[in-house]
Chains A and B, each alone.
Chain A
């Protein structure tokens, strides 16, 4: 190879985690929209990754109902991630999901092996849920909260419908501003797209030299965008009760 040729500049990896509630109550249009929205956003994330000299973006997806299951054994490049449709059935073992996350957010035996080239940027974790945990959530979360990768991660949650336990999601993400509630299918799809793209864009780049952390930047951008999405509710602008369009859930 001549001196004029160069290899790609070494890039860190950023892993985008989708943590998806596939309990029985998600059955029907809710889980259908989640499948649809994620499948559609993956190519866009692939493009963000391709154009980015700072980092490449890999994706990992964990579904949790009565048990937990990773869609793939290891994170995959966004363009290579072939979405397998998840189905809804069972309970809501969010506590176990937290413990699974903790296991994989690690260098030894996890998704961040030391042997991997140039290291990582902090991951982004997007949690989607429509209900409340049916297992020992507090215990699982406590374990996860001791994990450094989790601590530095960008964390955003989408509460699907009014039955979602917003308090639990607030505990998971660290603030009520990081929880966006959606009241219809369209809002759900739009917010999945906005949140996945915003976290990827901000998470995979060198930080702006400001004081705002990446988490704060993502929260700001997502909340601003949510203001334009009919049916999306933020912590700052709570919707009046009973705004769910129940027909749509059928």
Chain B
């Protein structure tokens, strides 16, 4: 491959030209350049080697289809085949996002658990959108996600290998992230193998350790291809497997999961224990769908509140005896908002997410001296309609608030109804 020079122009299949401004970086597959296309700054990924005709046609299909959702940094234009290779154009990555790997290396850090949980929700949403479009990821790993530390917003990148479900791009992904049946060569990537990768990414996100790497894997002095096929393929053992304790986390090495495993909500432990049980590891059909993961994440988001004592965030699993996981002090819940069978806990400064997007809808606030010292502020752009126990109807406009008073029924955004209990 001949590298491109500053000022050089590359022609695109839609007739336009992309002018090279400078190199932004390079990876295993190619170089990413900052380019100018029709007056706009964009990014060009230029492959080192000719990736072949199938790959080109697949890129073409993806460009035509468009991104599954705005979470994806997606190929927008394709270059013509030239200089023995080709590339594609995508939007530039906005500032402030860090690669998922940087979080694992403790170089980037979430500002809050709220951000961490948002990131989890957004990743699931992305996968769901991808699969709904009839595509599957195939090559998922820590390099695909860029996450904003303050909001938890997620950008999914490196979408070159995304291909229609059932069609193989030829790239199989890293053993550490791929489903056992792909690592052993028994199956090709699919939606179901993507779901395994999703569970691994979520586990890494929450616990900052790998779900299959404990004492047994640590005991291996040299991780060769043969051992990877064994530990991630033919004989995977979850570090907290209910029956098999051979692969437990080791003190001094796997400190992250040791600290967090029991501190985070039980529903998370139970879900992961099931997802990585030998039954689910060996049967792709038993894996959780994205929507089911989102339900679990919504549940833990509903129990995440701000501790009135120390002002840090804490999960509250038992609403009858709330205790802060940071300062250890017991405190009182100011109220509960019931939405269908969800019980959303409320304390001052807590933000409530009524639906599964990552925009908070309610801010719980302190109004000292007021008859109702704890209120819910409408931080959406729509009106809420409130019905009092005596049947009176009030409207709560954006930025206005309503009291946390038992018995109030509220129609929130998107036809979601809640009642304060």
Contacts and interface: CB of A to CB of B under 8 A. Distances in A.
Interface of A: 2-10, 12, 50-54, 107, 112, 114, 117-122, 148-149, 152, 201, 205-211, 213-214, 224-225, 228
A205 B106 contact: no
13 contacts: A4-B113, A7-B106, A8-B106, A8-B107, A51-B99, A53-B104, A53-B142, A107-B221, A114-B221, A117-B253, A118-B253, A152-B224, A224-B49
A153 B298 CA distance: 46
Contacts of A51: 99, 101-102
Interface residues of B, number: 55
A80 B278 CA distance: 43
B255 A7 contact: yes
A224 to B, nearest CB: 6
A17 B208 CA distance: 30
A228 B2 contact: yes
A224 B255 CA distance: 42
B391 interface: no
Given A211-B185, A214-B225, 18 more contacts: A3-B259, A3-B263, A3-B326, A4-B113, A6-B260, A8-B104, A9-B104, A9-B105, A9-B204, A9-B208, A9-B210, A10-B213, A10-B253, A53-B105, A119-B218, A121-B222, A122-B223, A209-B173
A65 B213 CA distance: 43
Closest 5 CB pairs of A and B: A206-B176, A206-B174, A6-B208, A209-B172, A53-B104
Nearest to B209: A9
B61 interface: no
B182 interface: yes
A214 B229 CA distance: 13
Nearest to B84: A228
Given A6-B208, A52-B101, A228 B222 contact: no
Nearest to A14: B223
A119 B221 contact: yes
A27 to B, nearest CB: 33
Contacts of B183: 209
Contacts of A210: 172
Contacts of A118: 218, 253
B51 to A, nearest CB: 12
Which among B2, B102, B105, B178 has the highest number of chain A CB atoms within 10 Å? B105
Contacts of A205: 174
Contacts of B60: none
A53 B176 CA distance: 11
Contacts of A54: 174, 176
Contacts of A6: 106, 109, 208, 256, 260
Contacts, number: 112
A209 B104 contact: no
Contacts of B21: none
A240 B308 CA distance: 80
B256 A9 contact: yes
Nearest to B27: A201
Contacts of A5: 106, 109
A53 B200 CA distance: 14
A201 B222 contact: no
A70 to B, nearest CB: 20
B28 to A, nearest CB: 6
A32 B178 CA distance: 44
B393 interface: no
B106 A148 contact: no
B353 interface: no
A50 to B, nearest CB: 8
B325 interface: yes
A53 B49 CA distance: 26
Contacts of A4: 109-110, 112-113, 116
B88 interface: no
B42 to A, nearest CB: 23
B220 interface: yes
Nearest to B210: A9
B312 A2 contact: yes
A9 B254 CA distance: 8
Nearest to B50: A224
B177 interface: yes
B175 interface: yes
Nearest to B222: A120
B16 interface: no
A117 B222 CA distance: 12
A12 B113 CA distance: 28
Given A5-B109, A209-B175, A119 B260 contact: no
B217 to A, nearest CB: 8
A119 B217 CA distance: 9
Given A3-B260, A8-B105, A206 B228 contact: yes
Interface in B15-50: 28, 48-49
Contacts of B171: 208
Given A206-B174, A208-B173, A213 B326 contact: no
Contacts of A3: 113, 259-260, 263, 325-326
A154 to B, nearest CB: 11
B1 interface: yes
B340 to A, nearest CB: 30
Contacts of A114: 221
